[in-house]
Amino acid sequence: MARTENFRHMDILVLVLVTILVLFGTVMIGSANGWVYDSENFTLDGLMVRQLIGYGLGLVFIACIQICDYSLIKIVAVPAYLVVLVLLVLVLRYGVGAYENDDVSRWLPIVGDISIQPSELCKIALTMVLAWFFDKVGDRINRIPVLMGALGIAFIPLILVFKEPDLSTSLVILAIVAAILFSSKLSWRYIVPGLVLAAILVVIVFLDALSGDPKLLGDYQADRILAWLHPEDYQLTIAYQSIQSRTAIGTGGLYGVGLFQNGGTVPVPTTDFIFGIISEELGLIGASIVILLFLSLSLRILWIGAHAEDVFGKLVCIGIGVMIAVQSSIHIGVSTAVLPNTGLPLPFVSYGLSSLTANMMGIGLVLRINVESKKNKLRRYGV
């Protein structure tokens, strides 16, 4: 009975923001896939139905996490991390791409047409295990063996994801790791050299892409960077998606062309470029509201983390908040051609059951951490 009372202490604002994004995203997925609302013969597009099923499954995960003992969440961090490592290894051997001739391995077939994307689960599991690790080591974080252990935990899955290859998810994972390290009382004598090294690596990656014979990047990754720098040379091939998305955004103007009125010119409109569809149909105003929703959600999660009463809770919230903020920013940057095309879904909005379910799990953790903080405060005040 006591655990079911956890639902009374959940942060409703986070749940409302997520629900608005998912329901809005479901409508936009349908519109991008050619669905039009008809009150007389109302039916849902197949992708919309699957997205809503994914949302329902996510709510089940959230409910299960709320009734779990808080200490159990910490205990499962390491097993979850190990399971994800196994899945990442399996996807390199048995994985498939989104299309028949894709030269990538990101999805692991389960049964029939059902598959999972382990890299999505990796973001949540890695956040949990790093938070658990730093919760255990406490003030010893600045000792070299401890720091090397943390980097080892982070870079094993990072390398596996990069080998799929999945550069966009690798960047999100790097952002999560950097945010957690920065928030764990890491000494500036490590932070400053780390930032310098990161800047050097970015320069090396760009030089590698420009070399014409990339050694660090895959050919298609290097080509995407070149297409971003010189879109006019790739307008009918690699840069086509970004150019079409940017054109659609321009077409939308301030108010948009109207819901369900997109021109059908944006490639992969239900996933990687759904922000282009949103901007075309709802204009700058609609796009700005979506950005505001993501900003509000990310800041609320970080606020919950700032008020968490243990290191584990604080770092999990920081990891989830940064994950949502960085991933949504990259997606919007790609859709507007500000960033190279990386193929990253918009959290809670783009179609994809693995992405949606993993993000909902992350929200469940945030809500449970907030519940625990509220309960501890009530105990202290004798309520």
Query: What pLDDT does residue 166 have?
Result: 87
Query: What pLDDT does residue 1 have?
Result: 45
For the chain, how are helix, strand and coil distributed in percent, rounded to 5? 70, 0, 25
Token pair 């079911």 is at which residue?
A: 4
145: preceding bond cis by omega (within 30 degrees): no
| Torsions phi, psi for 285 (to 5 deg) | -65, -50
Listed in sequence order, the residues at least 6 apart from 312 whose beta carbon sits closer than 8 Å to its beta carbon are 74, 131, 132, 135
Task: Read off the pLDDT of residues 136-160 as tens digits, 9 standing for 90 and up.
Answer: 998 899 999 999 999 999 999 999 9
Q: What is the band of 279 on the pLDDT scale with cuts at 50, 70, 90?
A: very high
- For 30, 79, 106, 206, 251, the CA distances from 277, given in Å and listed in that order, are 11, 39, 25, 30, 10
Listed in sequence order, the residues at least 6 apart from 88 whose beta carbon sits closer than 8 Å to its beta carbon are 118, 119, 122, 157, 160, 161
Q: Answer left, alpha or beta for residue 316, where phi above 0 means left and psi between -120 and 50 means alpha.
A: alpha
Q: What is the band of 100 on the pLDDT scale with cuts at 50, 70, 90?
A: low
Share above pLDDT 70 across residues of the chain, in percent, rounded to a whole number: 97
Nearest CA to 146 out of 134, 158, 157, 155 is that of 134
d(CA 220, CA 238): 9
Task: Read off the pLDDT of residues 29-60 as tens digits, 9 standing for 90 and up.
Answer: 999 999 988 777 788 999 999 999 999 999 99
Has residue 212 got a pLDDT over 90?
Answer: no
Query: What pLDDT does residue 136 have?
Result: 94
346: which DSSP letter?
A: P
Q: Which two tokens stand for residue 182?
A: 């920065």
Which helix (H) or strand (E) segment holds residue 111: the answer is strand 108-111
Instruction: Read off the pTM.
Output: 0.94
d(CA 372, CA 290): 30
| Torsions phi, psi for 138 (to 5 deg) | 60, -125
Domain ranges of the chain: 4-34+44-380
